Amino acid sequence: MAKVSIGLRGWRFEEGEVFTEDGEFRPVDEMPADARERLVRLVGIVTDPCDACYLVHGGAELRRCNEAAIVYGEPGDELLLCEEHEPDFLYWFREDGGREFAGEERFRDAFHEWFAAGERAPEGYGGRHVPEVM
């Protein structure tokens, strides 16, 4: 079976682990622990704002923040990004030391610190993704 994104691009699920043959969600207790943890976490974050937008605008200007479209990291320490700020994350991760934080508890905080310090991807960095969200 194929890997699919649900709600936000980024976290991928084995289709057969989360859906029945009829295309319905499996009961949560029938899913593998990792898939269950990510899916349950997605329910709580799917409409949250982009972390980078939040750092720019703050809680008082939440309405100015874009809704997240992408999730990176591990449940509980995930990083939520909109399309506009994904290139900044990709640059940080690929080119400016972010990879060393993969799987670490400081993953999200390290990106926040980098971004809050005014760091950004060079103009035109990154690419366009084809949405794969169900």
What pLDDT is attached to residue 128? 52
Give the C-alpha separation, 20 to 8, whole Å.
Answer: 20
Note the pTM of the prediction, 2 decimals: 0.87
Mean of the per-residue pLDDT values of the chain: 93
pLDDT at 92 > cutoff 50: yes
What percent of the chain has a predicted confidence (pLDDT) above 70? 93
Residue 110: φ, ψ to 5°: -65, -45
C-alpha R_g of the chain: 16
Q: Give the E-state strand segments of 45-100 in sequence order.
A: 70-72, 79-81
